[in-house]
Amino acid sequence: MTTPVAGTASDAAEPLECWCCAGTYQEKDLVRLGRHPEVGVCLACAHFLHQQARGREDARRPSPAARLRDALRAGRRLVIQRQWHQNQLFGRPLRWLGQRLP
């Protein structure tokens, strides 16, 4: 009989914690940072961080496209603030649209 060794496949099934939201996820649902593999961020937080990074890039290099993206981000904030995305009538189309806009 053999005993399991630390770091084997049995450890891979353990849920891991997202460094951003502290939610628990499986390894396949986390994004790792290149030089810091100990940092794991869930996919939802990775998308949020990407949006924040795009906003910072747009602020550093203003252009007509950047202003358009800023307007879209302001619209998204308004929708979330007023909770229109949870409305039964037009919440689903707003959520669909929000996933496809920058």
Q: Quickly state the pLDDT bin for 2 (edges 50, 70, 90).
A: very low
Looking at residues 24-48, what average pLDDT do you find? 94
**Domain count of the chain?**
2
Q: Quickly state the pLDDT bin for 14 (edges 50, 70, 90).
A: confident
Q: Are residues 17 and 53 in the same domain?
A: yes
Neighbour-count burial of 83, counting CB atoms closer than 10 A to its CB (0-12 exposed, 13-18 middle, 19+ buried):
exposed
E-strand ranges in the chain read 16-17, 24-25, 30-32, 40-42
Q: Are residues 85 and 101 in the same domain?
A: yes
What is the distance between the alpha carbons of residues 102 and 96, in angstroms, rounded to a whole number?
Answer: 12
Q: Is the pTM of this model over 0.85?
A: no
> Is residue 55 over pLDDT 80?
yes
What is the distance between the alpha carbons of residues 3 and 14, in angstroms, rounded to a whole number?
Answer: 18
The domain in which residue 83 lies consists of: 63-102
pLDDT tens track for 71-86: 988 998 899 899 988 9
Q: What SS3 class is residue 16?
A: strand
